[in-house]
Chain A
Amino acid sequence: MPPSMALRMNHALPHDHRERLLHVGREVSFPAGTRLFEEGRHADRFWIIRDGTAALDMHVPGRPTPVVETLGIGDLVGWSWLYEPYVWQLGAAAVTQLRAYEFDAVAVRLMCLDDPAFGQAVEHWVGRVLAHRLNAARARLVDLYGMYETKEPR
């Protein structure tokens, strides 16, 4: 299975764990432009996108906030809720009308503590999402589309 598909909750979590997680999720909808969370604030929830796109952005003092990644259907929005100090590392906004499952961070963390197998599955899933995004960020750092080197003398 391709890595990016394997990161979706439907594939990443075993059926019973997925059902348990969805049981505590609720369907939400955001108009385009809605801020989902702000960098530096307490990470108290997370989302799985059902429809639409969301943008992750980073605060740069004195400059417009640059978007660093766009997320689409099936993607996990937010991982900071799982790891201490539970503070958002980036900001996020709905680019288009967004439909998503929303999950309460404290409730899911308690479920993870209560059931180690469930907790291990969730941590493994979120960790893989993190690794995938780190890899994508590194790929972009090497100037993926630029003129890699110029062999033609000036």
Chain B
Amino acid sequence: MTTVPVPHRVVGRRQETGDTVTLRLEPVDTALPDFLPGQFAMVHCFGRGEIPVSVSSVQATGGLAHTVRSVGAVSDGLCAAGVGDIVGIRGPYGTSWELQRARGRDVLVVAGGIGLAPLRPLILGALAEPAAYRRVNVLIGARTPDDLIARKEVESWVTAYTGVTVDQPDADWRGDVGVVSQLLGRAHFDPDDTTAFVCGPEPMIRATARELAHRGVPRDRIRVSLERNMRCATGHCGHCQLGPVLVCQAGPVVGWDLAEPLLSVREL
């Protein structure tokens, strides 16, 4: 694993929403080790800095891609990158979703906002092996219809149930309105034989994981991706420390049994 940014060329760019872009990348020279779904990279915008971004596509299935929302100087720069531009990548870092642990079980994917991006390769992996998993459910929540990413792709997924809900509908929205956990009542899964994968902002993770635990999904089979500010990604700087855990190494994907007490502490 390298600790210096490895140059990658932007070979594809898709505008997901008004402020979110997916960049498809190929190494200029040296290729990085393969990423696993759920892992992240430190993505470097030359002259501005670097930020942690989970992979929204992995090399093994369709090529490396990152989905970035413009929220600051570095992400602004990355979102402005065009085909042919060079960005730096170091990684892979962190833990993965470990989809294989769900083999033979129902799979429940719950995404909030841009949290769908890190879950995308996991969903594609599960759908690529329909015999390996029981029912695959995908629940998606977003603030507004305009905040939904990969809309066309979501429509193409063949699942037991795919539900989409928004907080604030516009005049054209004919779908569900409300919190994403309300869709659990329509999903097809056997709680004590389900592995759940949850990604989104922490308030959404907490609300969803608690509801899943109430429904009987074992807490260690509720896998969540923690959103923390990784800086070095190698466990040295401590920026991502969450209680006793360095998220860049023990995470970002952890079981709810580990995450719940940490996310319940105020001002940690």
Q: Chain A: residues with CB nearer than 8 A to chain B?
A: 1-5, 53, 55, 64, 66-70, 72-74, 95, 136, 139-140, 142-148, 150-154
Contact = CB atoms under 8 A, between A and B. Distances in A.
Contacts of B113: 145-147
Given A145-B204, A150-B72, A151-B229, A66 B168 contact: yes
Contacts of A67: 169, 173, 177
Most-contacted residue by chain A among B141, B167, B180 (CB, 10 A): B167
B73 A154 contact: yes
Interface in B63-119: 69, 71-76, 112-113, 115
Contacts of A4: 181-182, 184-185, 211
A70 B178 contact: yes
Contacts of B75: 152
A95 B174 contact: yes
Contacts of A69: 177-178
A147 to B, nearest CB: 6
Contact of A153 (B72, B169, B215): B72
B190 interface: no
B71 A150 contact: yes
A153 B73 contact: yes
Interface of B: 51, 69, 71-76, 112-113, 115, 141-143, 147, 165, 167-169, 171, 173-182, 184-186, 200-204, 207, 211, 214-216, 227, 229
A154 B72 contact: yes
Nearest to B171: A64
Contacts, number: 102
A148 B72 contact: no
A145 B73 contact: no
A29 to B, nearest CB: 20
Contact of A147 (B167, B176, B201): B201
Q: Lowest 10 CB-CB distances: which A-B pairs, in order?
A: A152-B72, A145-B113, A2-B215, A2-B214, A70-B176, A145-B112, A67-B177, A151-B229, A69-B178, A145-B143
A147 B211 contact: no
A7 B181 CA distance: 14
B169 A3 contact: no
